[in-house]
Structure 1
Amino acid sequence: MRNISTRLLIACAAIGVAGGVLFTAHAWVGGLTVNTIPFLYGVTMGLYFLPGVLAQALFHRGGVALLTAALSGLVASPFQPIGFMAFLIGVVIGLVQELPFLIARYRVWKPWLFMVSGLICGLITMGAAFGILGSHNFNLLGTILVVVTFFISPPIFTVLGLWLAKALDGAGVARGLRADERLANNNRQGN
């Protein structure tokens, strides 16, 4: 992350703190639903991907998903049953979200690339569902519901994050913070 400003750090921190609050609420409510309505828990798992998507869609900068997701995990750590693991999970989520954009060398910020990221996260989350829930305890329909809900949740929250980013951008929250905006402004000033 080059040319990081205090304003960008504060914006990522604000998103990260909000994400941490949501992570904490989800951990405690999720603890109840995972044992009673596991597919509902699966639908809400995408919440963990929301802060990173929001930061990437707002700022179009490399590293902001990692920073924001890590901050969300750090904020949630003292209040979560899993403690510091929440921070480590946030770091992993941020890294996975950065990967498609890193491969595109942080030059492509199209919705389809966000969806690729969401689908990759969905596959990982779906795989984690078996470790979290022990899918062998379900019948065929239950297993299908768990797999599908854990898979679709990150793409659903990716779309929600894109929508929120568009609304916040319309309100001027990201003005002057986007890397592509700064490059365009520098080019105009240089001509």
Structure 2
Amino acid sequence: MHRTSTRVILSCAAIGVGGGVVAAASGYFALFMAAVGPMFYGITIGSHFLPSVIALALLKRPGVAVLTGLIAGLVGAAFAPHWLPRFIGTGLLVGALLELPFLVTRYRRWDTWLYYVAAIAAGVVIAAGVFVVIGGEHFAWWAWAIALPLYAGSPVLFTWVGRVIAARLTRAGVARSVG
């Protein structure tokens, strides 16, 4: 049986709290984007990737993306309780989708390209889900020509930002004693 150290759990909690604050702000910005230009809503999706990517890149442990995504969802929901299912569901979904390529490699490979494959695949999965849920067939083709690349691109952008943050935290020695 594998045990997860308290330091790893507390690190996930700290990253999740910061990510939850970002997710809450992003949720309100998404509301604004949905009212002003619904085809640009996809820009906000990537913010949900930030805490899980930071945890995965910084800690390099199984399950940290899912745990951090859950914590970020709970914290985001504290600022917007009416979005509780959305925040928790998105945090868990994003965490699981980000961990999938690493699970396939049995958490033995931490290549950069695996993060981006996961981000693109998750963006496509989320875009397809949104298309179905909001009735995408009712929108003009040009709106989807704008929206779909944003759904796929936003997670990649936030994955890059999360990896940069994790690299800087590593350089600063933040995760040195986590084990």
TM-score (norm 1): 0.86
Q: Please give the residue correspondences for 1:50-89 in structure 2 after superposition, counting only pairs within 5 Å.
A: 50-80=50-80, 81-89=82-90
Q: How far off is 1:136 after superposition?
A: 3.1
Contact 1:39 1:150 in 2 (8 A): no
Partner of 2:42: 42
The one-letter code sitting in structure 2 at the alignment partner of 1:110 is D
Contact 1:34 1:133 in 2 (8 A): no
Partner of 1:147: 148
Contact 2:40 2:146 in 1 (8 A): no
Over the aligned positions, Cα root-mean-square deviation in angstroms equals 1.8
Tell me how many residue pairs correspond in the alignment.
Answer: 178
Contact 1:62 1:106 in 2 (8 A): yes
Could you tell me how far apart the structure 2 residues matched to 1:24 and 1:95 are?
Answer: 20
Contact 1:52 1:64 in 2 (8 A): yes
Partner of 2:26: 26
Partner of 1:165: 166
Q: How far off is 1:138 after superposition?
A: 3.1
Partner of 1:5: 5
Q: How far off is 1:160 after superposition?
A: 1.1
Contact 1:126 1:150 in 2 (8 A): yes
Partner of 2:91: 90
The one-letter code sitting in structure 2 at the alignment partner of 1:24 is A
- 3-state SS of paired residue (2:76): helix
Partner of 1:184: none
Contact 1:58 1:169 in 2 (8 A): yes
Q: Pick the structure with greater CA Rg.
A: 1
Could you tell me how far apart the structure 2 residues matched to 1:132 and 1:50 are?
Answer: 24
Could you tell me how far apart the structure 2 residues matched to 1:135 and 1:77 are?
Answer: 27
Q: How far off is 1:6 after superposition?
A: 1.7
Aligned residues: percent identity?
37
Partner of 2:129: 128
TM-score (norm 2): 0.91
Q: How far off is 1:76 after superposition?
A: 1.7
Could you tell me how far apart the structure 2 residues matched to 1:132 and 1:23 are?
Answer: 21
Post-superposition Cα deviations, 1:107-142, rounded to whole Å, max 9, x if no partner, equal: 011101111111111111221231454333432221
Partner of 2:111: 110
**Structure 1 stretches of 5 or more lacking a match?**
179-191
